[in-house]
Amino acid sequence: MKKRAAFTLIEMSVVIAIIGITSGGILIAQTLIRSSHLNRMLGEYDTFIKAINEFQEKFLAFPGDMTNAESMWGSDLVCPYTPTNTTPKLATCNGNGDGKIGDSTTAGVLSNSREWFRAWQQLGGSGFITDQYTGTPGSVNVTDAVPGVNVPSSSLSVAGWTLHNIQMTSADNGLWRDQYGHILDFGMSISGNRTIGAVLTPVEALVVDAKVDDGKPGTGIIRAWRTSVLPGCTTGDTTQALQKYGTSDTSKDCSLFFLLSF
């Protein structure tokens, strides 16, 4: 019988080194890809802000809230309560013209969510963003945001964007009381809700926040949800100005929202 040759200690060391280098290279590549997606996410935010402002300048109204949208792009079925569907189209419905994309009480209770989805549809229909949307809520309920269908999806996997108005001056539903006006929610799709699901680690959230804002989850234009909604994202929320991202946690515990200037 022919004797089988065994690996020498040197050969084993070389193999282990190669495995280590390969694994390290994979981790580096994954980190670079993730960083690229985060940069593209910020690019999406810039694109949307520009699109909303240009729409408002051209039509003297906010998308979704526009009272003569049907004369521009045609009337959708059964306005304003068009049944849910998955067909992107130009035909739309008028908004109520109150200067807000959706409505809200001062306690942050949201309503008129159909304007949220018409907003993205009308931005697409007017050419200010490239994709087109259904203009209707998803199949679960009237606040059901479905990335790629009725709201934009993000280059960051499973994430998307929701645009709406919120007044937050008298109560706490996971947000600080100084938040009011239009905001962009960025996060994972949650059935029957806005795109507010956790999709970032606290370190990633800090990087995004610090890149364009103050790096604090409770102040500035980029905010994180309070611990009553996403407990792992921040270190606590007893004092707004002192909040920090929980960077020792490596889980995806964060979603963000961007306060807009209108």
**pLDDT tens across 75-115, in order?**
999 999 999 999 999 999 999 999 999 999 998 899 999 99
Q: Alpha carbon of 82 to those of 29, 69, 74, 243: distances in Å?
A: 45, 15, 13, 42
pLDDT, residue 237, reads 85
- Tokens at residue 213, please? 């804002």
Lowest mean pLDDT among 53-57, 125-129, 210-214: 210-214
Element spanning 256, H or E: strand 256-259
- Tokens at residue 62, please? 């906010």
- Tokens at residue 133, please? 């949307």
* CA–CA distance, 208 with 18 (Å, rounded to integer): 34
The reply to whether the predicted model has a pTM over 0.95 is: no
Q: What percentage of the chain reaches a pLDDT higher than 90?
A: 73
Q: Is 66 exposed, middle or buried (0-12, 13-18, 19+ CB in 10 A)?
A: buried
